[in-house]
Structure 1
Amino acid sequence: MYSSIFGGIVLDPMMMMIPIDDHMVHRGHGVFDTAIIFNGFLYELDAHLERFQRSASLAKISPPFSGSAFRSILIQLTEKSKCKNGTLRYWLSAGSGNFSLSPSDCPTPALYAIVIKHDMSQWKEGVKVITSSIPMKTPLFATMKNVNYLPNVLAQMEAEEKGAFASIWVDDEGYIAEGPNMNVAFVNQDTELVIPKFDKILAGCTENRLLELAPKLVEQGRLKAVKTAHISVEEAKAAAEMMFVGSSLPVAPIIMWDDKPIGNGKVGKLTLALSDLLWNDMAAGPETHRIRVTYE
């Protein structure tokens, strides 16, 4: 773990703590992001850091030092962890110093980061989802990756209580939004990849990368088009294929929604082809998207 309060990296789990008077803990005033560590490379770190900085600006928190310095710390932390497969998670808090509503008495914002080891494997099995009854966040908070995740937690719990993998949010205009901590994508009956617009939801770094990679399937004649659009529930449930897209997946096929099948109720070939694009990119993509970690 890295902590700007300690001013360094600690390897002892007993030291991996955040002060209870941290404004992120008792007021939820903080932002965060996550990058994948895959086969000794940090995947899409710069895209996640760009979003992290944008979230910090919206949350009115100024980092205690430059983004390039924090980027360097994150790479060093990954090196020290010796973890070659897992997640790198990091937070920016308004800081510690009091239990007030305002952070005005907090001397300085705080940065934290931690490496969590786990192995990833490509999803081959389909999952079931439900439509969430939990109100989704307003656009300001949905487009900012902040630590206020109670709606997300309740939406996930609701899905699990109903025997589903996760839930789907629908916005107040009846358009498909996102899952509790992942984006969604569809292949419609015209073999077009359609992704919900990011105007009211978090712009997923993995889904943005998929938008860059998916035209390869258009070139191969397997997809007709790749686009972002507002998608009604009726259009979504009539799709040929559906999937979750997110950093830790990166693609999970969805075969059942509210107890009704998506398409033929089986994992779609185009879903797996899109998944292959991301997995190949993680394993052997350009250096602009993969940072090699030098382990001691």
Structure 2
Amino acid sequence: MEKSSSSCDQKLDTLEVGNGSDFKVHIFSSSSELLENLHKKWSSVKKQPYPAMYSSVFGGIILDPAMMVLPIDDHMVHRGHGVFDTAIILDGYLYELDVHLERFLRSASEAKISSPFPRSVLRSILVQLSAASQCKKGTLRYWLSAGPGDFLLSPAGCTTSAFYAVVIDDDISQHKDGVKVITSTVPMKSPQFATMKNVNYLPNVLSQMEAEEKGSFASIWVDDEGYIAEGPNVNVAFINHDKELLIPSFDKILSGCTVKRLLALAPKLVEQGHLKAVRTTNITVEEAKGAAEMMFVGSTLPILPIITWDEQPIGDGKVGELTMALSDLLWDDMLAGPETQRLPVPHV
């Protein structure tokens, strides 16, 4: 789970406005003047956090951060009609790109967005973008939008869909310290939208903000039947006192690619006698809070131990051994897993 983006933390420019009647809006006389202003803002950034972006609107890869922009009339911008997904870049390899890309296209189909390119071309663009970025460790984010066209509700006026992608230079490392969480009071999305990775993330944002305002790392959603759902943008998993790995069913939540990979890897610990079983199931709040161990599971983590929930300790309140054993499994898979999971980036 990403905590912040560097551009959010850095104040590129400060605009002080006193009495509204005294404020005069500047009119840019030319595109060159505007571009000069944008370059001036980015010149104060010590390290470029976004080494490369692709835009089907521009028709290529952009290395200049001042030009990494979207059309204001893009329906993803003003109507939220878009889907997205991600992949990890670690030691020059793209991890689980193909499974994320498959989910990406399923989400697009459910959102009734047609891709401007076939799957093979989308994949090639993402690999070439990763290569052009020269990034060895970070994240690759990509979006499909209904596209630019107008400001109406219907996308009928959009001439073509749009594909955007960006590489984010970020430190991806294994987490060994535990965090605190709370139960979210923000209503979770309905299953139709929760199971589709779309850009309508306002409930997720409010849920995350609620947790941070209360001094916690993130929050946990509970569905309308009282079962554990997920975190704001990650799955959650538990180890009960019988040493079973329990993961909430995916009926009402996003089926995370990383947690599904964990389901494939965890039986190794069963074979070694460390775990008794691995299963997806409905989990009540009482069962969850009574677990021996608890963790978030997500692409950028891949596992983050949870030691406190609503000010109550999980288990003994310490990071569990089985949590770290599962973390080691995933981390080893990211660093040295099979070719089906890791795609080498041909850095230019």
After TM superposition, the score normalised by the length of structure 1 is 1.00
List aligned pairs for 1:48-67, cutoff 5 A. 48-67=100-119
Q: Distance in 2 between matches of 1:50 and 1:121?
A: 25
Q: 1:162 aligns with which of 214, 217, 224?
A: 214
Q: Which amino acid aligns with 1:141?
A: F
Q: Deviations over 1:176-231 (max 9, x none)?
A: 00000100000001000000000100000000000000000000000000000000
Q: Deviations over 1:122-157 (max 9, x none)?
A: 111100000000000000000000000000000000
List aligned pairs for 1:1-296, cutoff 5 A. 1-296=53-348
How much does 1:266 deviate?
A: 0.2
Q: Distance in 2 between matches of 1:118 and 1:27?
A: 29
Q: Distance in 1 between matches of 2:224 and 2:96?
A: 32
Q: Distance in 2 between matches of 1:38 and 1:171?
A: 34
Tell me the SS of whatever aligns to 2:156. Answer: coil
Q: Distance in 2 between matches of 1:5 and 1:187?
A: 47
How much does 1:294 deviate?
A: 1.0
Q: Distance in 1 between matches of 2:78 and 2:330?
A: 38
Q: Which amino acid aligns with 1:179?
A: G
Which runs of no fewer than 5 residues in structure 2 stay unpaired?
Answer: 1-52
Q: Which structure has the greater CA radius of gyration?
A: 2
Q: Distance in 2 between matches of 1:132 and 1:279?
A: 29
How much does 1:7 deviate?
A: 0.8
Q: Deviations over 1:54-111 (max 9, x none)?
A: 0000000000110110000000000000001000000000000100000001000000
Q: Indicate the structure whose relative CO is greater, using CA pairs within 8 Å and at least 6 residues apart.
A: 1
Q: Distance in 2 between matches of 1:184 and 1:205?
A: 13
174-183 or 118-127: bigger deviation = 118-127
After TM superposition, the score normalised by the length of structure 2 is 0.85
Q: Distance in 2 between matches of 1:232 and 1:88?
A: 35
Give the structure 1 partner of residue 31 of structure 2. Answer: none
Q: Distance in 2 between matches of 1:185 and 1:44?
A: 20
Q: Which amino acid aligns with 2:69?
A: M
How much does 1:168 deviate?
A: 0.1
Q: Deviations over 1:13-42 (max 9, x none)?
A: 011000110000000000000100000000
Aligned residues: 296
Q: Which amino acid aligns with 1:131?
A: T
Q: Which amino acid aligns with 1:245?
A: V
Q: Distance in 2 between matches of 1:117 and 1:226?
A: 34
Tell me the SS of whatever aligns to 2:94. Answer: strand
Q: Distance in 2 between matches of 1:217 and 1:164?
A: 30
Tell me the SS of whatever aligns to 2:113. Answer: coil
Q: Distance in 2 between matches of 1:118 and 1:64?
A: 29
Tell me the SS of whatever aligns to 1:104. Answer: helix
